[in-house]
Amino acid sequence: MDQQSGAALFSASFKAHAFPAYAAMRAEGPAAGFTMPDGKRLWLVTRFAEASEMLKDQNRFVNDISNALTEEEYAALFQQSTEELTPEQQAMAALTDEVLSGQLLGVDPPDHSRLRRLVAIPFTPKYIEGLRPRIQAIADALLDAAEARAEATGRHEMELIDDFAYPLPLTVIAEMLGIPEEDRGRFREWSQAAVSFTPADRANRAMTGKLIEFIAYMQALVATKRADPGDDLLSGVVIAEMEGDKLSENELLSLIFILIVAGHETTVNLIANGMLALFEHPEEYARLRANPDLVRSAVEEMLRFYGPVEMSLTRWAREDAVFGGVQMQRGDQVMALLASANRDESRFPDPDRFDIAREPNRHLAFGTGIHACLGSALARMEGQIAFTTLLARLPGLAPAIPRDRIEWRDATFLRGLTRLPVTWDG
Ligand code: HEM
């Protein structure tokens, strides 16, 4: 594909008609090549088998660009993108770069294994199961508040994202990490800045300014936990840092950063996108209402059908090699197009059909390999509780605006809605 269609793929309006475009790309081959505006090559791996293979192959594909380039090439790249900045801005760019790229998805083994081990236990299914009553209580409290507002105004309506889908996972991850309630309001802006940040934004003062603010906040939070550790996850990592050479200060900030951001921008979209899928398929919606036990497989189908993460983060080709039938060069950017892999007809019969009892349904919505989602057990439980509670408590839940006014957000890597106003029967 050429440069123009590459740019179109990353435009705001693309998500609305992405699936037929992905099907056309799969038909052409397992990997589609693009030339980005800066002249660099980007490969999108579109088919299920090759996308899984790519994500599992740490020898050929690395997450840390410095492992794919020579030291000189890497230094030149950073210098090129920061040479117009003042020395003070360059220092800020270096700090944001280190924190943003030092997180789990930016590093390779052995660093990756060491860092992931430090936070893995609280995310195991067994540990997460213990959070069920608390997550249920948070979901109920949010709907109590929505019902109280409806009672007061006589209008049974809410903004599903702002009033439910966003605060639910945010409260859960903030409580797990031990982030004080009064600080949580500032996270949305920071976290959105983080997911939309690209190296080209290094020269954008407003953007780097927000990230610097976020980093300063995390530094202050770490200092508080050091002085007075609690039994939360963050205190646990801070104690590990104080106890020895398990991780550096910037690695600690990177870990906190990825847990906040990844726990933030994803489950909200599982809930809202999943609700949209139910609204678009009234027979499946009725089936779930009649059979709440189907919630587990329904959530899996929502993840496959409208997964919150459209494509993996960037991997870098470590060597010149033929992969997916194309010739890749060392240093090329490669991504697994998860949304396409999850609609691959050779893996999922009738892939565009939304079937809440689909079986088998081993999708790629959480990625695979060593970087597979750390929070998948948590996200699944949040999704299951969200749908069971919404459907049980709000009869007649329906969109409050016509389908053509429900829009996908402009966020390349993610699939999420701008808003989803809903009504229910009084
Ligand atoms: C429905 C919700 C979620 C989806 C669809 C999702 C999806 C993903 C995907 C696709 C990846 C791999 C990306 C890649 O390989 O480039 C990933 C990684 C990750 N996710 Fe999630 N995620 C979700 C929720 C969460 C939650 C609640 C957390 C909790 C903190 C979380 C934490 C992480 C972390 C830390 C990684 C990096 C793992 C590593 O590099 O080892 N995610 N997620």
Position 85 pLDDT exceeds 90: no
pLDDT tens string 89-135 = 777 778 888 888 889 999 999 999 999 999 999 999 999 999 999 99
List beta partners, residue 321: 328
Lowest model confidence (mean pLDDT) among 57-66, 74-83, 127-136, 268-277? 74-83
Neighbours of 403 (CB within 10 A): 9
Calculate mean pLDDT across residues 20-33.
96
The answer to whether the CB of 45 is under 6 A from ligand 1 is: no
Structural domain including 236 reads: 78-307+354-423
Q: Say if pTM beats, i.e. exceeds, 0.85.
A: yes
Lowest model confidence (mean pLDDT) among 146-160, 297-311, 339-353, 407-421? 407-421
400 CA → ligand 1 middle, Å: 31
Position 425 pLDDT exceeds 60: yes
Which pLDDT score is estimated for 280? 98
pLDDT tens string 307-331 = 999 999 999 999 999 999 999 999 9
Would residue 180 count as lying in a domain? Answer: yes
Would residue 28 count as lying in a domain? Answer: no
Position 3 pLDDT exceeds 60: no
Q: In the numeric block, which tokens belong to residue 213?
A: 């603010």
Which pLDDT score is estimated for 211? 85
Which pLDDT score is estimated for 110? 95
17 CA → ligand 1 middle, Å: 25
pLDDT tens string 221-238 = 999 999 999 999 999 888
Would residue 8 count as lying in a domain? Answer: no
Distance CA 225, CA 239 (A): 9
CATH number at residue 377: 1.10.630.10
Closest CA to ligand 1's atom 14: 312
Which pLDDT score is estimated for 202? 66
Calculate mean pLDDT across residues 66-80.
85
Position 4 pLDDT exceeds 60: no
Would residue 39 count as lying in a domain? Answer: no
Closest CA to ligand 1's atom 13: 312
Which pLDDT score is estimated for 242? 82
**Averaged confidence pLDDT in the chain:** 91
Would residue 1 count as lying in a domain? Answer: no
Q: Evaluate the omega torsion of the peptide bond into residue 292 and state whether it is cis, within 30 degrees of 0.
A: no
Q: What is the C-alpha radius of gyration for the chain, rounded to an integer number of angstroms?
A: 22
125 CA → ligand 1 middle, Å: 15
Closest CA to ligand 1's atom 6: 366
Calculate mean pLDDT across residues 37-44.
87
Would residue 319 count as lying in a domain? Answer: no
Would residue 229 count as lying in a domain? Answer: yes
Would residue 19 count as lying in a domain? Answer: no
Total count of domains within the chain: 1
CB-CB contact of 369 with 58 (8 Å)? yes
Which pLDDT score is estimated for 291? 98
Which pLDDT score is estimated for 203? 64
Distances (CA, A) of 392 to 66, 157, 295: 51, 16, 12
Q: What is the DSSP string of 161-174?
A: IIIIITHHHHHHHH
Q: In the numeric block, which tokens belong to residue 212?
A: 């610097």
